[in-house]
Amino acid sequence: MSLSPLLTDLYQLTMMQGYFVSGLHTRPATFDLTFRRNPFQGGYAVWAGLEVALAYLDQLQFGNTELAYLESLKLFRPDFLAALSGWRFTGRVTAFEEGRVVFPHEPLLTVQGPLWEAQLVETALLNVLNFQTLIATKAARCVTAAGESASVLEFGTRRAQGPDGALGAARAAFIGGASGTSNVQAAQRYGLPVSGTHAHAWVESFDSELDAFRAYAALYPGQTTLLLDTYDTLASGLPNALTVAGELRSAGHELRGVRLDSGDLAYLSARVRAALDAAGYGGVQIIASNDLSEFVIESVIREGGRVDVYGVGTQLATGGGPGGGALGGVYKLVALGGQDRMKLTGDAAKTSLPGVKRVWRGTDAENRLALDVIAAEGEGEPLPGERFSDPANPLRSLRIGPELSWHDPRRVVHDGGQRTRAPEKLADLQARAREELAGLPAGTLRLLNPHRYRVSLSAELAQRRDTLMAELQLRHGL
């Protein structure tokens, strides 16, 4: 997916010109991309969209068409536009590997490079990474709710935020654990499994429901899935599906599945399962759709439902639901010309962490995630007995014991204008996310009131933050 250099906010370009005119544009700068709250009031997020972001950086340049448009705005000087004609992204990007679980306040992605380069890419990076991380997290929540006995499909194209949103949602949902998508273009572009049945319009187009089912089975005998609820699920759709199942078996085929798209899914799926099993069709899958979410899936299972596949549409492709809608990631300048920078605001939750940083992730003896520590660049791994403070609440702190092993979950993924390794397969990203989610502390995956995973600041970084905060307050008379 090729993204234009004009996929940005106007102020990025006006600031770029200002840096250029002021001679600041080549000063080395560092920006961090972070978020402040987990989406969906949950306990984690699944980091997604990195490969799309790197592809954007790879091809980022201003062509004649873009430069002509900028010139037409009468905002930009000829010398600045001339400089843009040869502009390329040459910075360094350090980020969590795609598919890892991530948490508030961590530098998920760090851009280091000339100030005007690092400034321009803010909007597009936030657009891609905020959205795909939101959707991957939603998918993971749905998959968690479905458990081991059922799978989740992404069915949300028709309700997604436009064509690009639909494609990005399908990709991110797969990373988060979805088994496939109904979107044919997304399946073709990303190599995803594609799945679908038929609509109510198919049934309504025939003189009878049975005629419609027979026609579909004749056309797709090896992969027939029938929609049961056009007229009445139990009184009409189910008996007709059983008739067609018998006809398929007589011809050497098997009915693949039935879909429920309305009504009490727990009750209906249990009744349909019982009827299918009694008739000797225990292998027929039951697919459920109809405005599903992780909470609906959880309730269907809790109430005895017998669904094998959940086709989640609107809420998955849009990231809807409590605490959803947008991730809220931000991109802040944290160092310029070798000096720390920070945003100081009346809202303490929005105060940024200064300086170039790293993340240490601690795992216990069973390789389960235990603690993340945000440290200053160059700091070694945390030592037993050290005290660490909460990024959002300096009064909350903890000491760590000797039982944790530490590693750096971030990698340099782009350097000197090119990525540092080949793109990873989506199946590998999904596997990484699955492994990471399985390694979270007990309770972190809960849909409501989850365990709060601990992210802390090293003593050195906390001291640098507090010192710079005091200097800024003094300098500005606060």
The answer to whether the CB of 112 falls within 8 A of the CB of 91 is yes
Q: Is residue 126 part of a domain?
A: no
Q: Biggest alpha carbon distance in the chain?
A: 86
Whether 449 is covered by a domain: the verdict is no
CATH number reported for the structural domain that contains residue 199 in this entry: 3.20.20.70
Quote the pLDDT of residue 309: 98
Query: Is residue 278 included in any domain, yes or no?
Result: yes
Compute how many other C-beta atoms are within 10 angstroms of the C-beta atom of residue 459. Answer: 17
Q: What angle do CA 16, 17, 21 make, to 5 degrees?
A: 120
* Overall average pLDDT of the 401-430 stretch: 94
> pLDDT (tens digit, 9 = 90+) per residue, 196-221?
999 999 999 999 999 999 999 999 99
pLDDT number for residue 392 = 81
Task: Look up the domain containing 235 and give its range.
Answer: 136-318
Please report the pLDDT score of residue 1 as a whole number. Answer: 61
348: pLDDT strictly greater than 70: no
Q: Is residue 312 part of a domain?
A: yes
Q: Is residue 192 one of the residues assigned to a domain?
A: yes
The amino acid that residue 236 corresponds to is S
What pTM was computed for the model? 0.96
Percent of the chain with pLDDT over 70: 99
Residue 387 has a pLDDT of: 84
CA dist 326 and 469 (Å) reads 29
The pLDDT, as a whole number, for residue 441 is: 96
Residue 209 lies in a domain: yes
pLDDT, mean of residues 240-244: 98
The string of pLDDT tens digits covering residues 68-114 is 999 999 999 999 999 999 999 999 999 999 999 999 999 999 999 99
Residue of 150 and 345 predicted with greater confidence: 150
Statement: residue 234 has pLDDT above 90:
yes
Question: Between these two residues, 372 and 477, which has the higher pLDDT value?
Answer: 372
> Total structural domains in the chain?
1
Considering the domain boundaries, does residue 103 fall inside one? no
DSSP state of 347: S
Mean pLDDT of the chain: 95
Helix ranges (DSSP H) in 232-365? 238-250, 265-278, 294-302, 314-318
Placement of tokens 């500005």 in the chain: 476
Determine, yes or no, domain membership for 10.
Answer: no
pLDDT at 469: 87
Order of all β-strands in the sheet with 405-407: 397-399, 387-389, 455-457, 369-376, 357-363, 405-407
Give the pLDDT mean for 258-265. 97
Residue 478 pLDDT greater than 80, yes or no: no
Please report the pLDDT score of residue 349 as a whole number: 67
**What pLDDT, in 10s, does the model give residues 438-451?**
999 999 999 999 99
